[in-house]
Structure 1
Amino acid sequence: MNDRLTRVGPGTPGGGLLRRYWQPVALIEELDGPRPVRPIRALGQDFVLFRDEAGTLGLIDRACPHRGVDLAYGRLEDGGLRCPFHGWLFAADGRCLDTPAEPEGSTLCQRIRARSYPVQVRAGIVFAWLGEGEAPALPAFDCFVAPDTHTFAFKGLIECNWLQALEVGIDPAHASFLHRFFEDEDAGAAYGKQFRGASDGSDLPMTYVLREFPRPRIEVESTDYGLRLTALRRISDATTHVRVTNLYFPQAFVIPMSAEMTITQWHVPVDDTRCYWVAIFTSFAAPVDHARMRAQRLETYALPDYLPRRNRTNEYGFDPQEQASQTYTGMGHDINTHDQWAVESQGAIQDRTRENLASTDKAIAANRRLLLRAMAAVEEGRPPLLAIGEEEAARLTGPATIDGMAPTEGWEAHWRDAVARRRAQAPWAPPALTLAAE
């Protein structure tokens, strides 16, 4: 069962499932510069992403159909990507445009084609359809419909299996420990940083809430996009902190970053033992300060491959003095480093036969059941969850997230009202939100 849940290569049950969804394979900024060509490895396969002279994006197999050499070293010219070995030229849609070493008048190129894959750009991310048949529609989620001014995209490599990387994001209890800070900062310096600002509707810093109230009551609901998670921390008889997050099946979660910004984050397998987190930050207030957000993240990630500067080779920057006085982990103040250590330390592929799930892991257990059911559906020829058309996708909005204070009696209505007010005040008019769970 562990293999079934984690293996993603061609022909595997997990790989078959993930190929039924659009995969965020690159940031569009990776094609900036004089030579817009990038090698891509996803789901255990190798591709090359490029932009031709007309600006058209292409994603094709990395091996040249002629003799299998590496097209990531190809020449961008004459309307496509030309193989340096024998000069065969391929268009963005995979058509062979030229076989210049062949005899004059040869029609060989008319019978040759590199396999190509549909791509689309949303919020600064290149999404690719790596499966067979017709691709589903993307839902009308906020991260997809907000203007580029109000979104920001980034990514980072994690050296472990995609599923254990995803599972840290649907574990509401860990934030009170893994991300615990012993001192609370000025909320004015919290821009672009998770868990550093004040709770919505309160002046209590999130660092204080998580540190002092480490026993959340967790509720998990099934929805038509995956799962909704509600973590309740009772502050007093009158007040309860409500944190609402979501599993966007099968590979993403949607969580609040601050009172005005959300994070939609995918975990995209490179292969069975590595993955990228790929995130869209969506603002419901002012336009995103792209330069500031990017500079913050480049402090901990190195280009061109978005590799974490803190990793197992330097013990994640572990400092025992910091652990004693500043942070619970002693690994700095970046949330991503904490998560990276937690999931990488489980091993390249976690041995789940040795784990003991607790009551706070109910979302993790629920998601594994969803994955197994969806794999079975694909094997039986039935559509899995979220394999939907344009009409149904247009009805899937939000999903709602919040970190906020609410009255202990009536918190259910209070957080919904708070989300509705935030959305109503957004300058880019997000679509109406449906909060009913199925």
Structure 2
Amino acid sequence: MMSQEMNDLITRIGPNEPCGKLMRQYWQPAALAVELDDERPLRKVRLLGEDFVLFRDEEGRYGLLDRDCPHRGADLAFGRLEGGGLRCSFHGWLFDVEGNCLETPAEPAKSRMCENIKQRAFPVVERAGILWAYLGEGEPPAFPQLDCFVAPDTHVFAFKGLWDCNWLQAMEVGIDPAHASFLHRFFEDEDVRQSYGKQFRGASSGTELPMTKILREYDRPIINVEHTEYGLRLIALRQLDEERTHVRVTNQIFPHGIVIPLSQEMTITQWHVPVDDTHCYWFSVFTSYTGAVDKEKMREQRLELIEPPEYRSRRNKSNDYGFDPHEQAHETYTGMGADINVHDQWAVESMGPIQDRTREHLGQSDKAIIQYRRLLRKEIEKVGNGETPLMVLEEPEARSVQGPATMDGIGPTNGWETYWMEVDVSRRRGAPWMAAAPEEQAGDEDGAPKLRSVS
């Protein structure tokens, strides 16, 4: 069991907390780019326990400033976008994207007061439909060459959702291969041709066998965990018979990302971003290796459940997540509808605002969670010692972090190790945007390397 002191260490993300100092070493998703619409390109943002205002100025530059005006603390989220920056509505003080005070109009005409005023400001960049902010000190790290960052805008779609719980329990559901056989169980299989944009609803690669059927009928996966240059790789094996094994490959991208297969043509890259200690957003980027993403359809699907501007689920704790006992008896394992985001949301929010890990009992199926927590503690300690943590990358290193590989398919029971790599390499090399295959998967004439299991 975990001590309360250790639970606090790995969950709390304020600016003075050890884990908070770790999180500030990385670019963090702050908003979807579409949230800054042309009518009013400004949003209030709460990120890592602090309050900011995010905006785009008249020249198209992005800025992230502390939300309280340095004059008398009024809320800049209600300011005016004019004069080359953001103007406070209280006394008209004007700030640019770098936090420079450009005007203090209520002061005497010859006043030079603004030269001594500086609002705290942070870098913002757009990648894959998301606006990323860097809250740390010094130069920001380089972005790794993940597929979602390499693919053009036509082949990615970004969305988000708000959960009322600590970031860590939300992140851990994404590295738990065993739960999908229960939490996301459907008693009847849909037509896989109607599965576009829906997780766990398509067919496994190379077959017409629905993922839902495999997860339902084979609920004791063998789970392999491998440490990688970016975090962890998880491989869940469900042996169907002596000849065939279902292989599902997912990844943990340090510090709080996951990369998982959606379908034969898409992957999901998802970050579980701390809003504060008791709330988090998931930001997802769907990346297509075939045709352009149907963004309108993807957005319409998600807006059926999730409501802007906060992007809260319409099924939530206040209405028991839409729980229907008849549905639970006859259609789904949870009785909470067909959208697996609701299932995950119930699971992690039901643990409480911050899960009490002093009361949990982990088993063999939790080996990825155990390995991740060890990794998280190790990287927190590095930052405390003034060292550079995992995935804080300079440009040459960032170019070498590619992919990573994902796959959901049925391969040979003897030879699954090379099968999944071949499937992923073939898909990536066939992408119209020419994504490169990670070098470790390229293999040679003797075949690709095998994975090592870490318990």
Q: Same fold (TM over 0.5)?
A: yes
1:282-361 matches, cutoff 5 A: 282-361=287-366
Contact 2:57 2:97 in 1 (8 A): yes
Aligned-partner residue type, residue 267 of structure 1: H
Aligned-partner residue type, residue 138 of structure 1: F
1:224 aligns with 2:210: no
Contact 1:239 1:406 in 2 (8 A): yes
- Give CA deviations for 1:221-263 in whole Å, capped at 9, x if unaligned: 0000000000000011000000000000010100000011000
1:128 aligns with 2:133: yes
1:62-101 matches, cutoff 5 A: 62-101=67-106
Gaps of 5+ in 1: none
1:420 to 412, 416, 425: 425
- Give CA deviations for 1:157-181 in whole Å, capped at 9, x if unaligned: 0000000000000000000000000
1:330-409 matches, cutoff 5 A: 330-409=335-414
1:118 aligns with 2:127: no
Q: Secondary structure at the match of 1:173?
A: helix
Whole-Å Cα distance in 2 between the matches of residues 49 and 434 of structure 1? Answer: 38
Contact 1:63 1:70 in 2 (8 A): yes
Q: Secondary structure at the match of 1:430?
A: coil
Whole-Å Cα distance in 2 between the matches of residues 294 and 362 of structure 1? Answer: 35
In structure 1, the partner of 2:447 is: none
1:323, CA displacement in angstroms?
0.3
Contact 1:51 1:58 in 2 (8 A): yes
- Give CA deviations for 1:251-281 in whole Å, capped at 9, x if unaligned: 0100000011000000011100000000100
1:160 to 156, 165, 169: 165
Please, which moves more after superposition, 53-62 or 309-318? 53-62
Q: What fraction of aligned residue pairs are identical, expressed as a percent?
A: 63
Please, which moves more after superposition, 105-114 or 288-297? 105-114
Whole-Å Cα distance in 2 between the matches of residues 6 and 77 of structure 1? Answer: 40
Gaps of 5+ in 2: 1-5, 442-450
Q: Secondary structure at the match of 2:408?
A: strand
1:287, CA displacement in angstroms?
0.5
Aligned-partner residue type, residue 420 of structure 2: W
Residue-pair matches, total: 438
Contact 2:429 2:436 in 1 (8 A): no
1:193 aligns with 2:198: yes
Whole-Å Cα distance in 1 between the matches of residues 61 and 16 of structure 2? Answer: 30
1:35, CA displacement in angstroms?
1.0
In structure 2, the partner of 1:237 is: 242
Moved over 2 A (4+): 434-438
1:305, CA displacement in angstroms?
1.1
- Give CA deviations for 1:101-126 in whole Å, capped at 9, x if unaligned: 11111111111111110011001000
Whole-Å Cα distance in 2 between the matches of residues 7 and 289 of structure 1? Answer: 38
2:183 to 173, 178, 182: 178
Q: Secondary structure at the match of 2:286?
A: strand
Contact 1:400 1:435 in 2 (8 A): no
1:104 aligns with 2:112: no
Aligned-partner residue type, residue 259 of structure 1: Q
TM-score by length of structure 2 reads 0.95
1:44 to 35, 45, 49: 49
Q: Secondary structure at the match of 1:38?
A: strand
TM-score by length of structure 1 reads 0.99
Whole-Å Cα distance in 1 between the matches of residues 429 and 382 of structure 2? Answer: 38
* Cα RMSD, aligned residues only: 0.9
In structure 1, the partner of 2:270 is: 265
Please, which moves more after superposition, 155-164 or 59-68? 59-68
In structure 2, the partner of 1:204 is: 209
Whole-Å Cα distance in 2 between the matches of residues 372 and 11 of structure 1? Answer: 16
1:432, CA displacement in angstroms?
3.0
